[in-house]
Structure 1
Amino acid sequence: MEQVTIRIAEQRDVENLKKLMHEYIVNFYQSPVPAAGKLDWLIGTLLKGDRGLQFVAENEGELVGFATLYFTFSTTRVANITVMNDLYVLAEGRGKGIAEQLFQTCLAFTKEQGYASMLWETANDNYRAQRFYEKMGATPGDWISYSL
């Protein structure tokens, strides 16, 4: 397992986190380049920590991965929950345990802060991620995800 530092993102991480998120959004998911200022807004919102937060994986001063947790509610559980919206590690860091460290940090935060559960989703064709989540002890849920 690669030894990295997992910590909550800080103001000093903004520029490197923007590069990492751009890689994730545009190159990995092949989504459009975010409009000017959008990543700054999102990162700034998460740095405040009231609607969500980001954990970063740092190796020798470089950010090599991140995970994003959003704070929301579950009506059926009548409780607060977290949604792990992102879990991303640069290609050269994959298979070295970094994703597991980020995942376990998100899960520990969820439990320690008293959230009822942590939910997440992944693309139907992201088999590597699906194997990873199953390795973490997760099972696919009974719900079908839709979007417009």
Structure 2
Amino acid sequence: MVIAATREEDLDDLLPLLRAYCDFYDVAPPDAALRALSEALLDGADGVQLLARDDGGRAVGFATVYWTWQTLTASRVGVMNDLFVAPAARGSGAAEALIAECADRARDHGATHLTWQTALDNARAQALYDRVGAQRSRWLDYELALGGAPRG
């Protein structure tokens, strides 16, 4: 298993994984928007998208980590916003390798924590997170849709 930051030449291999991830969560952003998101992360300024390739070079999973700050720890944190492994590669160690690389990248970026969320009914992911030593948070997430263009 090889985990590396996504490069421009990886985007065609990454897009089907992004689409499968969105399908899993029953959302349908346009492919052009998914590609634009990935292109925006190529420079690493806002975060990094990691791509997992198996020993045959096939793209089998990805993770996205964004950089931010957290007042409650007065420190930088990495937010692992996405983690997905193709069904055929689950159980291969790809997910654990992606999480480990996310943690390393966050640490290298000066973060003191790596945080993430998962769906309440995603028992398989929760078992993985428990297995890698992550601690469940006591926070409940909220979301406010902000439709439209930015003001200004």
TM-score, normalisation: structure 1: 0.91
Alignment match of 2:62 (pick from 61, 66, 73): 66
Give a deviation string over 1:32-78, Cα, whole Å, max 9, x none: 2x135211210111112100111110121211000100011112222
Alignment match of 1:44 (pick from 22, 35, 39): 39
**RMSD, aligned α-carbons:** 1.2
Alignment match of 1:82 (pick from 72, 78, 81): 78
Matched, 1:103 2:95: no
% same residue = 37
Closer/same/farther in 2, CA of residues 125 and 61 from structure 1, 3 Å limit:
same
- Structure 1 stretches of at least 4 aligned residues deviating more than 6 Å after TM superposition: none
Alignment match of 2:111 (pick from 108, 112, 115): 115
Closer/same/farther in 2, CA of residues 121 and 36 from structure 1, 3 Å limit:
closer
Give the SS at the match of 1:99.
helix
The count of aligned residue pairs is 143
**What is the rounded CA distance, in whole Å, between the counterparts of 2:32 and 2:63 in structure 1?**
21
Give a deviation string over 1:67-118, Cα, whole Å, max 9, x none: 1000111122222111000111000000111100111111122223321211
Matched, 1:140 2:136: yes
Give the SS at the match of 1:47.
coil
TM-score, normalisation: structure 2: 0.89
5+ residue gaps, structure 1: none
